[in-house]
Every structure is written in C-alpha cells, then in structure tokens.
C-alpha cells in the first residue's frame, strides 16, 4: 500500500510519562525497539512526510531519522500541544496524529480515516475501537485533521481547555469504527504503565 502523500504524520511523544514512573515513554523498549520507533515505522508507509513531537531526549528521537519538534507551549500541556506543533510544521492538506505508545495501530488507519473524512466532507476523522465489552470507544489521539485548523486549536488552548474531544466537538467530526471482520481487537492497546508495556511485549511474541 502506497502512503497518502497529501497527509503528514506525527508521532506524539511529548508527554510526562507520569504513569510510566516519569520515564520518556516513547523511548521505552518493546522487544528491543523504542515504542516511538515502532509507531514511526508503522506510520511511515501510510503517509507522506512524517515528524515526531517530543520534549525530552531530542537527539535520541532525531536518531530515528524524522524531524523532531518540541511543544511551543510550556509545561507539558498535553497532546493538543503536539497537535498545534505538528500543524505549525505541516505543509500538506491533512495531518494525522498517532501516539507513541500504541505500536500495533492498524496498517490501514490513515487510508480509512481519509476515506471517511472525504466522503463526509468533514474537518476531522477520529478512530474508534471495540472495547472488551463490545462497545466502541473513541480514540481521540488518532485523528486526521484538515491542516487549516491551527488557528481554531490555538484559540481553544489559549482559553485554558485541554481535552481533545472538547475541541473536535467544535468542528464537523466523523467517527470511524475499526470493528470490521479481520480488524485486530488489540490494535489500539496502548502502554501507559510498565505492566501494560509487559502485556504488549507478550502480545508481540
């Protein structure tokens, strides 16, 4: 599958890693490879340009071969700060956001988000995944955005708000379920804690 050249991808690795004991989560190893590198290599075939948003250990992230941009906003204000940073450096019509801690996200993630966004004329397409109880749960850090939304997001964060879904609710957003036959039910499993990272390691063996 050829990547969508009109989409820029960003790996979000700028968090505090609080539930990982303060570790730089994107650099935590999963089967010998950094989580962020797993995510980067999963995303690269799906998009055109790609970048990493990180706030610590920048040379380590730069060694992965993609441009690295820290938050313009101070004090780790959350993933939306990474959205703004990426939108600032995005030169394509669309931006897709992916967290560093979910290395097994679908290999057709971007294509399906893009198809839904175009079909509905939406501003944003957001993934949703099946939970163990059979319910769909939105995955707001997996978003495809029109790249002209930077001013809206900047104003939203300037008002002190930080929740992704509160911002996406201000725009035409289509939710894209990843619940088709053959979709991996664990594709959106993320490693927020050492125990979850260990569970991911077992899944990949």
- Asked whether residue 25 is assigned to any structural domain, the reply reads yes
Is 169 inside a domain boundary? Answer: yes
Per DSSP, the residues of the chain read: ---BTTEEEEEEE-S--GGGTT--GGGSEETTEEHHHHHHHHHGGGBSSEEEEESS-HHHHHTTTS-EE--SSSS---HHHHHHHHHHH--SSEEEEEETT-TT--TTHHHHHHHHHHHHT-SEEEEEEE-TTS-EEEEEEEEEEEGGGHHHHHHHHHTT---HHHHHTTS-EEEEEE-STT--TTTT----SHHHHHHHHHHH-
- In a domain, residue 129? The reply is yes
In tens digits, what is the pLDDT along the chain, a chain of 205 residues?
578 999 999 999 987 655 555 679 999 998 899 999 999 999 999 999 999 999 999 999 999 999 999 997 766 678 999 999 999 999 999 999 999 999 999 999 999 999 999 999 999 999 999 877 778 999 999 999 999 999 999 999 999 898 999 999 999 999 999 999 999 988 998 877 766 766 776 666 4
Residue 132 makes CB contacts below 8 A (sequence gap 6+) with: none
Q: Give the pLDDT confidence score for residue 135 in this predicted structure.
A: 86
Structural domain contains residue 199:
yes
- The CATH code of the domain that includes 125 is 3.90.550.10
Would residue 81 count as lying in a domain? Answer: yes
In the chain, the number of structural domains is: 1
Q: Looking at residue 48, what is its pLDDT? A: 97
- The two tokens of residue 23 are 């570790």
Would you state the pLDDT for residue 107?
96
Strands 29-30 and 33-34, bridge-based pairing: antiparallel
Residue ranges making up the domain that contains 153: 7-204
Question: Domain for residue 75, yes or no?
Answer: yes
pLDDT of residue 21: 58
Residue 149 lies in a domain: yes
2 domain residue, yes or no: no
Q: How far apart are CA 68 and CA 106, in angstroms?
A: 23
pLDDT score, position 128: 97
First to last CA, the chain: 25
């Amino acid at each position: 599958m050829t990547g969508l050249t009109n989409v820029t991808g960003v790996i979000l690795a700028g968090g505090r890693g609080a539930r990982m004991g303060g570790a730089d989560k994107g650099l935590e190893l999963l089967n010998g490879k950094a989580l962020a590198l797993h995510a980067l290599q999963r995303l690269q075939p799906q998009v055109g340009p790609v970048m990493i948003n990180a706030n610590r250990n920048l040379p380590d992230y730069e060694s992965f071969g993609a441009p690295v941009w820290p938050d313009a906003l101070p004090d780790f204000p959350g993933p939306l700060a990474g959205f703004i940073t990426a939108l600032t450096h995005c030169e394509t019509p669309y931006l897709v956001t992916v967290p560093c801690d979910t290395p097994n996200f679908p290999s057709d993630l971007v294509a399906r988000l893009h198809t839904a966004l175009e079909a509905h004329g939406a501003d944003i397409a957001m993934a949703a995944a099946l939970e163990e109880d059979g319910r769909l749960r939105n995955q707001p850090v997996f978003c495809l955005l029109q790249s002209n939304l930077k001013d809206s997001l900047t104003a939203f964060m300037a008002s002190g708000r930080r929740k992704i879904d509160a911002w996406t609710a201000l725009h035409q957003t289509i939710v894209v379920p990843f619940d088709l036959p053959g979709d991996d039910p664990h594709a959106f499993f993320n490693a927020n804690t050492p125990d979850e990272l260990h569970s991911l390691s077992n899944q990949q063996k």
